[in-house]
């Protein structure tokens, strides 16, 4: 009720029977129930500065990632880490390279801090163009961002492609691998390579698989020296994460039932979605994530008007004069409604 009165765009926030949110790649089943229970039980610790949860959390993360605690940096969502890494590489200014379109929320920060950039369009297969990114390297290039799978396309580069790329570029350039959607693939995270390639840093999030987009939790995996340097930009590392979220994150990792449910649904709904697009002659890009990128080129009606009338929140447009757009994968019922609406 408070939100209904006080927040003008409450409709965007609420998950009810009316509005279907297929816009932010959120978890259609909400938050892991085990995490929610732990969060409710930990509310009473809200008055305490926490050290214990942070420790347990780091140990658990280290265990599931088969890495050391020294390789980890936790934060209130991975966006925060993209921001921190951007600030770190911007210290002496320089140049950065990003694919387009991609999840480049840090781009304005880097520019504001005085960095120059090269923006590299996807290749004709809608894949991140590693060769062009490499040939755009300048003397003062500090950062190359790769999102894998990429948002908004869902395209996945193989480990070999990325590893070859890292090997082939100067090792003073930080390669930021954003793996927000890697859990939706069967491909292993690159996190096991951070001790081999000291310039590699991987970011992960709990927002998608575990349903923590509102609770906020993410982490980075890097060489201990890289993590140590990033921590120099923080007065108290991890202070932005609430005890409640930490307790939830610890529990979420054990909620195998929820994880299986989410991944099974994602696969089933993705197959359904691609086949419904195919039936309608709509071109899609193979997706390794929890959303699908498709072209409105052959769509004869007003797509966005139809979504609005049906209270379905869809994505924005990208590339080729806005010909492409993205739809997040919801539950099967939500996707049936979506296809009824756009038909
Ligand atoms: N990276 C990518 C590729 C994303 O798509 C998103 C959110 O949609 C994020 C990072 C941000 O996630 P977080 O909620 O962890 O800040």
Q: State pLDDT tens for residues 255-304.
A: 999 999 999 999 999 999 999 999 999 999 999 999 999 999 989 899 99
- Domain containing 175 — which CATH number? 3.40.640.10
Task: Look up tokens 């080729």; give the residue.
Answer: 320
Mutate to test the pocket of ligand 1, among 27, 85, 103, 209 (most ligand atoms within 8 A of CB): 103
Find the 180 Cα to ligand 1 centroid distance in Å: 6
Confidence of residue 17 (pLDDT cuts 50, 70, 90): low
Q: Is the pLDDT of residue 4 over 80?
A: no
Domain boundary among 194, 222, 252: 252
- Residues 203, 272, single domain; the answer is no
Pick from 272, 274, 303: nearest CA to 287: 274
Question: What mean pLDDT do residues 218-239 have?
Answer: 96
Question: What mean pLDDT do residues 330-338 have?
Answer: 97
- Residues 24, 77, single domain; the answer is no
Number of domains in the chain: 2
Q: How many Cα atoms occupy the beta-carbon half-sphere of 57 within 13 Å?
A: 26
pTM of the model: 0.95
Find the 150 Cα to ligand 1 centroid distance in Å: 11
Convert the pLDDT of each residue in 96-136 to its tens digit: 999 999 999 999 999 999 999 999 999 999 999 999 999 99
Q: What is the pLDDT of residue 18?
A: 75
Residue, of 180 and 2, whose pLDDT is higher: 180
Domain boundary among 204, 231, 252: 252
What's the Cα-to-Cα distance from 69 to each of 61, 242, 303, rounded to whole Å? 8, 20, 47
Q: Is the pLDDT of residue 212 over 70?
A: yes
Q: Which domain holds residue 208?
A: 34-252
Q: Is the pLDDT of residue 9 over 80?
A: no
Helix (H), strand (E), coil (C) string for the chain: CHHHHHCCCHHHHCCCCCCEECCCCCCCCCCCHHHHHHHHHHHHHCCCCCCHHHHHHHHHHHHHCCCCHHHEEEECCHHHHHHHHHHHHCCCCEEEEEEECCCCCCHHHHHHCCEEEEEEECCCCCCCCHHHHHHCCCCCEEEEEEECCCCCCCCCCCHHHHHHHHHHCCCCCEEEEECCCHHHCCCCCHHHHCCCCCCEEEEEECCCCCCCCCCCCEEEEECHHHHHHHHCCCCCCCCCCCHHHHHHHHHHCCCHHHHHHHHHHHHHHHHHHHHHHHHCCCCEECCCCCEEEEECCCCCCCHHHHHHHCCEECCCEECHHHCEEEEECCCHHHHHHHHHHHC
Domain boundary among 231, 252, 273: 252
Q: Is the pLDDT of residue 12 over 70?
A: no
Q: Which residues line ligand 1 (CB under 6 A)?
A: 25, 77-79, 103, 147, 151, 178, 180, 205, 207, 213, 218
- Residues 245, 287, single domain; the answer is no
The token duo for 39 is 């969060």
Find the 280 Cα to ligand 1 centroid distance in Å: 30
- Residues 238, 269, single domain; the answer is no
ipTM of the complex model:
0.99
Measure the CA–CA gap between 5 and 300, rounded to whole angstroms: 39
Find the 322 Cα to ligand 1 centroid distance in Å: 22
Q: What is the pLDDT of residue 2?
A: 42
Q: Is the pLDDT of residue 329 over 80?
A: yes
């Amino acid at each position: 009720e408070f939100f209904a009165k006080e927040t003008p765009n409450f409709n965007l926030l609420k998950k009810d029977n009316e509005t279907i949110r297929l816009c932010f790649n959120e978890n259609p089943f909400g938050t892991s129930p085990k995490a929610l229970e732990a969060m409710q039980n930990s509310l009473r610790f809200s008055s305490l500065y926490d050290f214990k949860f942070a420790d347990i959390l780091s140990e658990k993360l280290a265990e599931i990632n088969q890495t050391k605690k020294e390789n980890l940096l936790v934060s209130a969502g991975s966006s925060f880490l993209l921001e921190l890494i951007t600030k770190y590489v911007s210290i002496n200014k320089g140049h950065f390279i990003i694919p387009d379109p991609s999840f480049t929320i840090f781009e304005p920060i880097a520019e504001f801090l005085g960095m120059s950039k090269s923006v590299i369009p996807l290749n004709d297969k809608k894949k991140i163009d590693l060769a062009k990114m490499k040939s755009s390297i300048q003397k003062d290039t500090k950062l190359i961002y790769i999102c894998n799978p990429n948002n908004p396309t869902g395209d996945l580069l193989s480990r070999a492609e990325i590893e070859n790329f890292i090997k082939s570029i100067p090792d003073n350039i930080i390669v930021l691998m954003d793996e927000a959607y890697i859990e939706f693939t069967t491909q292993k995270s690159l996190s096991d390579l951070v001790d081999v390639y000291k310039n590699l840093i991987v970011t992960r999030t709990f927002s998608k698989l575990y349903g923590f987009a509102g609770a906020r939790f993410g982490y980075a995996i890097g060489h201990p020296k890289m993590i140590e340097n990033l921590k120099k930009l923080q007065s108290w590392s991890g202070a932005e994460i609430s005890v409640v979220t930490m307790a939830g994150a610890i529990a979420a990792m054990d909620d195998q039932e929820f994880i299986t449910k989410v991944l099974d649904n994602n696969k089933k709904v993705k197959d359904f979605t691609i086949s419904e697009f195919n039936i309608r002659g709509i071109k899609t890009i193979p997706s390794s994530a929890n959303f699908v990128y498709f072209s409105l080129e052959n769509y004869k009606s007003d797509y966005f008007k139809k979504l609005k009338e049906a209270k379905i929140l869809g994505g924005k447009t990208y590339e080729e004069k806005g010909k492409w757009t993205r739809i997040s994968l919801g539950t099967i019922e939500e996707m049936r409604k979506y296809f009824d609406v756009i038909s």
